[in-house]
Amino acid sequence: MEDDASKKEGSGKAKAINYDELDENIQTHKTQALKHNKLSDAVESLLNIEKQMRLAADITGTKKVVAGILEACFEAGDWKGLNEQIVLLSKRRAQLKQAVVEMVQKAMAYIDKAPDVETQIELIKTLNTVTAGKIYVEIQRARLTKRLAKIKELQGKIDEAAEIMQEVAVETFGAMARTEKLAFILEQVRLCLDRKDFVRAQILAKKINPRVFTADPAKEKKEKPMDPEQVMEAAPADIPSLLDLKVLFYELMIRYYRHGREYLEICRAYQNIYDTPSVRDDPLKWQPVMKKIVWYLCLAPHDPMQRSLMQATHDDKKLLELPKYKALLKQFITLEVVRWKSLSDLYRPAMESEPDIFGGEWGKKSLEDLKQRIVEHNILVISKYYARVTLKRLSELLDLPTEETEKYLADMVTTKALVAKVDRPAGIINFQARQDSHEVLNTWAVSIEKLLELVEKSCHQIHKEAMLHKVALPVS
């Protein structure tokens, strides 16, 4: 009985682990492995210690031993053994989550220290295999995926890098910081744009709500991880700030909208960049952005949104520092005919200073679109002053051939930017919309109602004045 009691007492004391002695033991095994070139023996001994710590559910001890095994393989330069031990340790029975996290984080620090790119790729693939399907290391998996995609991109394999990045959906990660999520999604969008996959780029970009960039941190609720056991991890130091990510987001959106020549959307993207404090407060940054806003407003088709943005931009006080561009917007806002030749001669140097808008093959189409917008503006102006006009006179005012004038007019009517009817035999254009009988009756009814209301108010005022001055009104 005494022997059994002493055994129980001894086993109880064994549970109280001295971590200093454990550290010394691990260091001794590592030193012997390096000194006597017996890595396998040292790893075997450390695996036995790891088993004891793991079965005892000692988190701290298991983490120390796991880290020691990886350090021994790394210091011995055995990269193949390092990969094997990572897989082995992750598959051991009842392996602790904390130990797996420690092992993955430790191994990730060795990626940059690998002797060559192939070794880096092999280590990353091993870690991806270990982290697959484990929620508690999903953030590490996302970072590893990003590293692997970057390596593939540097090798010129853009398609492969984009495919790798699309395997991870970080928007579902509860413990990942918001800025890191945004940076990851933006990287996915960038790679899709690089490979000319504009459909997938749009799908990925819609995962980001633009309001996240304008949210007030003071009023916003603090983010909490989805899993109560998880802790919100801070974003790495290389992740840009929220405002920098906002600029990056809209720069990528500009690349996407340029593909479809969506001038108004490009303008709105530049407007959001301009509204960023870091850009708005620096003249070297906001002036180039403002110039692009003005040009894209001039290129955008005429609609209520375009007119509203044009007026708001024209009223911006900062535009006073760019008088030439303010005058350009003034011409489009004022109901006056604009001459294409005089405008192109006046703003040719400004156009040449914007090669991304008016340069190359893309720029040729932009010049054609700008000319078209000026013609459309002139037709709208003329429609405000004329109810009816001959096609010949309209061509003279637009300084265009008759056939071209008719083409522009037909396009505007088709897109419902203008209401007009052309009597081709007579060569007369009617800008007045024809009202049907119901509209005419409604107009008359409204006019009569206003007339009766005015008569009633007038009679009331006459009776009021008569009562004040005690004047007897004749009875009819």
Could you report the per-residue pLDDT of 185-219, keeping only the tens digit for each? 999 999 999 999 999 999 999 999 998 888 655 55
Nearest alpha carbon to residue 106 among 157, 62, 146, 68: 68
DSSP assignments along 380-418, one per residue: HHHHHH-SEEEHHHHHHHHTS-HHHHHHHHHHHHHTTS-
Average pLDDT of span 120-137: 90
Task: Output the pLDDT for position 8.
Answer: 40
Using 50, 70 and 90 to split pLDDT, how confident is the model at 434?
A: low
**Residue 36 pLDDT greater than 70, yes or no:** no
Distances from the Cα of 88 to the Cαs of 66, 85, 92, 362, in angstroms? 11, 5, 6, 56
Using 50, 70 and 90 to split pLDDT, how confident is the model at 52?
A: confident
- The residue type at 108: M
What kind and span of H or E run contains 100?
helix 97-108
**Residue 2 pLDDT greater than 70, yes or no:** no
Using 50, 70 and 90 to split pLDDT, how confident is the model at 253?
A: very high
Q: What is the pLDDT of the chain when averaged over all its residues?
A: 85
Average pLDDT of span 375-385: 90
Give the pair of three-digit tokens for residue 67. 């880290």
Higher-pLDDT residue of 160 and 438 is 160
Task: Output the pLDDT for position 330.
Answer: 93
Burial of 9 (0-12, 13-18, 19+ CB in 10 A): exposed
Distance of alpha carbon 116 from the chain centroid: 34
Nearest alpha carbon to residue 373 among 349, 338, 397: 338
Nearest alpha carbon to residue 179 among 235, 248, 231, 246: 235
**Contacts for 26 with CB less than 8 Å, ≥ 6 apart:** 46, 49, 64, 65, 68
Nearest alpha carbon to residue 146 among 376, 203, 154, 52: 154
Task: Output the pLDDT for position 291.
Answer: 94
Using 50, 70 and 90 to split pLDDT, how confident is the model at 5?
A: very low
Task: Output the pLDDT for position 14.
Answer: 43
Task: Output the pLDDT for position 231.
Answer: 64
How much helix, strand and coil, in percent to the nearest 5, is found in the chain? 70, 0, 25
Average pLDDT of span 164-168: 89
Task: Output the pLDDT for position 192.
Answer: 94
Bridge partner residues of 422 (DSSP): 429
Q: How many Å apart are CA 16 and CA 359, to the nearest integer? A: 75
Whether 41 and 12 have beta carbons less than 8 Å apart is answered as no
Average pLDDT of span 321-344: 91
Q: How many Å apart are CA 180 and CA 185, to the nearest integer? A: 9
Residue located via tokens 């990886």:
70
Higher-pLDDT residue of 273 and 228 is 273
Domains of the chain: 12-132 (1.25.40), 261-385 (no CATH), 386-444 (1.10.10.10)
**Residue 70 pLDDT greater than 60, yes or no:** yes
Whether 249 and 213 have beta carbons less than 8 Å apart is answered as yes
Whether 217 and 160 have beta carbons less than 8 Å apart is answered as no
Average pLDDT of span 344-349: 91
Task: Output the pLDDT for position 163.
Answer: 92
Task: Output the pLDDT for position 245.
Answer: 93
Q: How many Å apart are CA 115 and CA 392, to the nearest integer? A: 78
Residue located via tokens 């917007």:
329
Using 50, 70 and 90 to split pLDDT, how confident is the model at 446?
A: confident
